[in-house]
Structure 1
Amino acid sequence: MKAALSQIEEILRAKAPVTHKSLRPAARPEVFDALRSRVDIPADVAALWEWHDGTAAVGALEVVPQFVFLDVGSAIRYWNLWREAKVNFPHGPWRPDWIIIGVNGTGGVLVCDHDENVFLATPEAGEFVHHLATSFDEVVQRLLAALQDGALFDGFTAAYDDGELRWLLPHMGSAGAYDLRYCYSDHL
């Protein structure tokens, strides 16, 4: 996985320098302690945060189309918020073994569970949970394929605009571009 992350970084540096600059430095091992006190962290998720501790708002890396890569501190805050929301909405999709890795700005989250399954959970759609991959390593490999080879990633294609990575819906062309910076900038 580390080799794939290095390749992703090189592609971003060359094709999306604004997005590349949005990546925060690697998370320090001690920052994981607060999250580990809540949930087990799979090795591939830890490797992702050891690569970079999330992204800043400007040019933010969407590690999965429409889902901004969170830093560990934000992941903890979202974990706490979802835990508290579960009290008021007991039939919602959240589970306490989920690690929140990304957000989409409209309440949806990118999560990995203790079995390393990766899901997109969108509470605005009720209990809708979309299984994305069987590990975060698989997500990283799909991200690399999308950036490197133009492969579809969850229905989107990678595009580069003004130094930023964008995700397009292929059947819509540039009209299908998502620019969620203004939705989630206050979350980062």
Structure 2
Amino acid sequence: MDEKTAQAPTGAPGSVPRAIVVMGVAGCGKSAVGKALAAAEAAVFVEGDRLHPPENVARMASGEPLTDQLREGWLDAIGQRIADLAGSGQGVVAACSALKRSYRDRLRGFRRDIVFVYLEIDPAIAKRRVASRKGHFMPASLVESQFAILEPPGADEQALTVDATRPVADIVTAVASLPAGAKS
């Protein structure tokens, strides 16, 4: 899995604030990469998992995958948080699975210039990582359901695909090294 750019995002070089969503299946490292990237970018980090309504968390904790309809309010909460932060002049990095193009389109409805960083990972590695997590509501049994609906970003989307098994620092460097206009 090599790093590749689906499409160089549009935007004026040096334009701020930046809006980045670190995406992928459970266990790919969205939170770790998102926190490190936010620190490197002097941006606010938004943990998408914290914006799930309690009902969604309970469903997932019991092994029930979320439907598109159940994800709508959650995606709207993330999109609104991104729009509010960026609208106030702050850079923002959010961790959100954004598994389907329709989910990414919904987020882009709040801020059209969001750039997605897709952390690509093998199903077996993702499942192993999720199984080893402590204190998280997402069971390893749901990893397969995430891969079943996963639609990696298309060539026409503003996205960077990165091998999720690379060290976090390397991933952050790859994203941070993009020209400023390519991230906003």
Which bin holds the TM-score, normalised by the shorter protein? 0.3 to 0.5
TM-score (norm 2): 0.34
TM-score when scaled to structure 1?
0.33
